[in-house]
Amino acid sequence: MKTFYTAEVTASGGRAGAARSDDGVLDIALSLPRSMGGDGDKTNPEQLFGAGYAACFENAVIFVAQQQKLALKNTRVTARVAMGQHDDGRFGLEVWLDVSGEGIERAELESVVAEADRLCPYSNAVRGNIPVQISII
């Protein structure tokens, strides 16, 4: 793989700790969500994962549309990330991506989204590991 960029982030204190990037741009306190017994007043790993996946996937959608010379505009990707426990005791994630855009036909958007899913590094990283449902809204 030809590397374009490497992010370095150090977490300390687990889910109720903090995370900081080596360049200091990301410096964030973390907390458990209320539904997991925390105070829920700070971000959590699932929100950070969702933000990264949504941003990366949207960029892949924009890239594919540009490559195909389509007039796609006002794109938006919303990620929902669920964390839970499997029957065998392992913890896992599930992801739902809702994609919207304007300026092209729905069939074209479906094609763009399918190709974006093939190209997106987050999609490639999780494929076969966690369920991901992609919807065009």
Share of the chain above pLDDT 70, in %: 100
Of 103, 97, 117, the closest CA to residue 49 belongs to 97
What are the pLDDT digits (tens) for 53-107? Answer: 999 999 999 999 999 999 999 999 999 999 999 999 999 999 999 999 999 999 9
For 100, the enclosing helix (H) or strand (E) is: strand 91-102
What's the pLDDT band for 2 if we cut at 50, 70, 90?
A: very high
Q: What is the pLDDT of residue 22?
A: 98
Q: What one-letter code names the amino acid at 8?
A: E
Tell me what the pLDDT averaged over the chain comes to: 97
CA distance 91 to 27: 26
Q: What is the pLDDT of residue 79?
A: 98
- Tell me yes or no: is domain 45-136 CATH 3.30.300.20: yes
Of 88, 98, 91, 99, the closest CA to residue 129 belongs to 91
Length of the chain: 137
> Helix, strand or coil for residue 79?
strand
For the chain, the structural domain boundaries read 1-43, 45-136
Q: What is the pLDDT of residue 90?
A: 96
Q: Looking at residue 70, what DSSP letter applies? A: -
Report if pTM > 0.75.
Answer: yes
Q: What is the pLDDT of residue 7?
A: 97
- Give the CATH fold of the 1-43 domain: N-terminal domain of TfIIb (2.20.25)
Mean pLDDT score, 47-53: 98
